[in-house]
Amino acid sequence: MTISDLRTVQAPLKQQYRDDPDAALVTLRANGELGAGISCSVQTGQALVEAGLHPATGGDGLSVCSGDMLLQALVACAGVTLAAVASSLGIDVTGVVHAEGDLDFRGTLAVDKQTAVGFQDIRMRFELTSDADEEQIATLIRLTERYCVVFQTLAVPPKLAVSHSVHS
């Protein structure tokens, strides 16, 4: 997508959000249906994904791990954001986005109550090919971090709420 194409698509949206800030507030939703064994089926925009236990917690490896899905969401969001920012800055770039995270499954399995549940460290790395100079690439990465929704959600966690209902 060229910078002109991106601006053409985004300009009316930006103006709408300036004129009516409430129009910019969108609630995204995801739903999952509990499945056979220990699994949960989640409908993505394109496919149905069955999530299950990671092999380190007793899973058979046939279902996707939600931890992997979190890293995949980070990579996807960072990749899309980088491409949009590069287009906006007029930088021609190709490459690969990597993310890896460290989990200590003693927390998840309640083996050690002092061990945190969840990722302890997440690292994201960009392998890029571009004629842009170092300053342009640094700006590209900085703006990608700044505008990547998943990155910012992990960096500055939102307020979380949990509710439930039980049906007989």
Q: Which of 113, 79, 80, 119 is nearest to 100 (CA)?
A: 119
Asked, for residue 102, whether it belongs to a domain, the answer is yes
pLDDT exceeds 80 at position 37: no
- Does 22 fall in a domain? no
What average pLDDT score do residues 139-167 get?
Answer: 97
CATH, residue 130: 3.30.300.20
- Name the one residue in this structure whose structure tokens are 């299950």: 52
150 in any annotated domain: yes
Tell me if 94 is assigned to some domain.
Answer: yes
Task: Assess whether pLDDT exceeds 90 at residue 26.
Answer: no
Q: What's the total number of domains in the chain?
A: 1
In a domain, 147, yes or no: yes
Structural domain of 140 = 3-9+65-155
What is the reported pTM? 0.87
